[in-house]
Amino acid sequence: MAQISDLIELKMPAKPEYVGVVRLTVSGIANRLGYSYDDIEDIKIAVAEACTNVVNHAYDDKEEEQVMLLKCGVFADRLELIVADRGGPIDVDSFKNGKGPIAANQPIEELKEGGLGLFLIETLMDKVEISGDSGVVIAMTKFLQRGEVEQNGNGISKEAPNQ
Amino acid sequence: MNLQVDVREEEQEKHVLLNGEVDVYTASLLKEKLIPLAEKPNAAIIVNLSNVNYIDSTGVGIFIGALKASDKSNSSLKLIGANARVKRLFEITGLDEVMDIDSDQREEV
């Protein structure tokens, strides 16, 4: 595996208005690395979903330091993004519970409005790991699709049968 | 990184034109404008997304909320003009299976 060449770290207030700033930052980094337009858009959505989770769920109003942390590991063949909060330990299994696409066979009044974020992260990124020892930590990897780079099997092609 | 929501009402037809990005920051504005329209009885709501360049699960969640509200009030909700990226997100999340989505803008006029 290639050595890490650059590490970029951001610490921001866990507020809705900064999620767009994280998106722009990550988009700039991915663009510099030569990702395709579609891959950059996928990375933007995935990182925004992770940040949205921090903003909506990580902290109670009383807590003093409400931060979201972003780490970008830049490798020759991939980008590793870690979004973390300090909202305290969570149970990863229950965190993952309820994720999935909208269930089309349900009556309209029973459709759920949440649970899509994590599903999207896992669909749009190549590798996702979640831990929750001192807060939610979502580590996600997107491989750079060049000729010489091994194609990852569970990428974008999945939703094609929907057409 | 902002959103503009313009509403034009023609009797029962409610045209909602969105400009910008729909994310966790702009979501509250969209919700504030869209949900009351969806709660009106017998309305036909048409949301034009042709100037939306970014949307994520927060936006999808709002459209589901609006769909539920419109269903209750015997109204209809339709999304038009979504670009390829936005349309793809609707496909991945399954929103296109439960909601009337038309990327053809001719409906607008």
Nearest chain B Cα distance for residue A150, angstroms: 24
The answer to the question of residue A95 being in a domain is: yes
By C-alpha distance, the chain B residue nearest A54 is B24
Domain with A103, as residue range(s), is 6-145
Query: Phi then psi for B101, rounded to 5 degrees?
Result: -120, 125
Determine how many CB atoms are found less than 10 A away from the CB of residue B1: 15
Asked if B88 and A159 come within 8 Å (Cβ–Cβ), the reply is yes
pLDDT in tens, A99-154: 889 988 888 888 888 789 999 999 999 999 999 998 999 999 999 986 544 444 44
What CATH number is attached to the domain comprising A27? 3.30.565.10
Please return the burial class of B22, using the count of CB atoms within 10 Å of its CB with bins 0-12, 13-18 and 19+. buried
Nearby residues of A74 by Cβ (< 8 Å), 6 or more positions away: A4, A5, A6, A7, A8, A29, A33
Q: How far apart are CA A145 and CA A151, in angstroms?
A: 7
What CATH number is attached to the domain comprising B75? 3.30.750.24
Put simply, whether A116 touches B (Cβ < 8 Å) is yes
Q: How far apart are CA B27 and CA A48, in angstroms?
A: 13
By C-alpha distance, the chain A residue nearest B71 is A108
Nearest chain B Cα distance for residue A2, angstroms: 31
| Region class of B37: left (phi > 0), else alpha (psi between -120 and 50), else beta | alpha
Q: In what order do the strands lie in the sheet with A67-74?
A: A6-13, A67-74, A78-85, A137-143, A127-131
What angle (nearest 5°) sits at the alpha carbon of residue B88, between those of residues A119 and A125?
40
Put simply, whether B61 touches A (Cβ < 8 Å) is yes
pLDDT in tens, A32-84: 999 999 999 999 999 999 999 999 999 987 767 899 999 999 999 999 999 99
The answer to the question of residue A159 being in a domain is: no
Domain with B56, as residue range(s), is 3-108
Distances (CA, A) of A127 to A3, A122, A154: 18, 7, 9
The pTM of this model reads 0.88
The answer to the question of residue A23 being in a domain is: yes
By C-alpha distance, the chain B residue nearest A18 is B25
